[in-house]
Amino acid sequence: MTEQKYEITVGIECHVQLATKTKLFSEVDNDARGKEPNSCVSPVEYALPGMLPRLNREAINMAVRAGLALNSEINLLSRFDRKHYFYPDLPKGYQTSQMYQPIILAGYVDAPLEDGSLKRVRIHHAHMEEDAGKLTHHDGYSLVDLNRAGTPLIEIVSEPDMHSAEEAKAYSSELHKLMVYAGVTHGDLYHGNMRFDVNISVAKKGATELGKRAEVKNLNSFRSVERAAEYEFKRQVDLLESGESVVQETRGWSDDKQITTSQRSKEDAQDYRYMPDADIPPVVLSDEEIAQIQAEVPMLPNEYRERWVGLKLDHSVIDTVLAHQEAAKTLDAIYSL
């Protein structure tokens, strides 16, 4: 009964690793699966003196393809910025990102819910950036693998439009389908091709302001997104009911314990000291280039759904088929006969 007095609000930031052959700013192999640690690294990723980035054009093309799947406008003029933050697994001491002029502008995703309705989640923007490396923690020491450093990403930032754990799960699942179908990522959640940062706040129903948010980082399954949202809702309601305040912070998710735990206080934009990256020229695109790139995008999940209306299949059956792009192509080919 207590929880019925409150409403959850969820926004999701999704990091999508782009399936380019080489990294964002060097000609190093972008696929390090099964390879020795620190074997797919160049002087650019090591940030050796005098090394300059060279922007991967194919990463730009994939971002433009993703923009179509997100129903977004593509920015004709985008720029890269330096995000200053201590990354122990990013040697140059800052991350190359896009703060002020991202390549993908506002859009939306229509996520199917279990009752057959659609939940529209607005996209604020999506920006390009490089991934950091990976730390492995052991008893008394840590090891760093820089194979992932410099991997091209797009970070898709939603508006806080979701108000249940079910909606958060449905959005993350549909976003995964869209990125895979658009051909911009391998979509391997186990290996971190897509990772979800879930921002969750709680306020009393009818309140005019959102509550303080907690960000649960690096979730790599739709079930984890759902469970983390459920847990955080209950945790924050309990805090508010006991007269305590919710702290704006970054939290981690434990699949084993099914709980979130505090990691660090949450930084704001000013803490990162963004500045334009003078080593990377602006990305200038034309409407003709964008149209040509997006014309190559294959059928997306919503197009398949529209074509299969005559089959009168249950929502869960369609969702199961669409979870595998090749299965969707096969079913559509049979249906088209």
pLDDT for 335 equals: 83
What is the average per-residue pLDDT within 329-337? 87
Kind of pairing, strands 249-254 and 214-219? parallel
Q: Would you say residue 1 has pLDDT above 70? A: no
> If DSSP codes are grouped into helix, strand and coil, which group holds residue 232?
helix
The answer, as to whether pTM is greater than 0.85, is yes
What's the mean pLDDT when you consider all of the chain? Answer: 94
- Taking the alpha carbons at both ends of the chain, their separation in whole angstroms is 54
Exposure of 101 by Cβ count < 10 A (0-12 exposed, 13-18 middle, 19+ buried)?
Answer: middle
85 DSSP 8-state letter? -
Banded pLDDT at 331 (limits 50, 70, 90): very high
pLDDT for 246 equals: 93
pLDDT for 296 equals: 95
pLDDT for 266 equals: 61
pLDDT for 116 equals: 87
pLDDT, tens digit, 9 for 90 and up, residues 87-141 = 788 899 899 999 999 999 999 999 999 988 999 999 999 999 999 999 888 999 9
Cβ atoms of 184 and 298 within 8 Å: the answer is no
pLDDT, tens digit, 9 for 90 and up, residues 253-272 = 999 999 999 987 766 666 78
pLDDT, tens digit, 9 for 90 and up, residues 167-178 = 999 999 999 999
Residue 284: closest CA among 115, 104, 103:
103
Residue with more model confidence, 242 or 1: 242
pLDDT for 267 equals: 61
pLDDT for 265 equals: 74
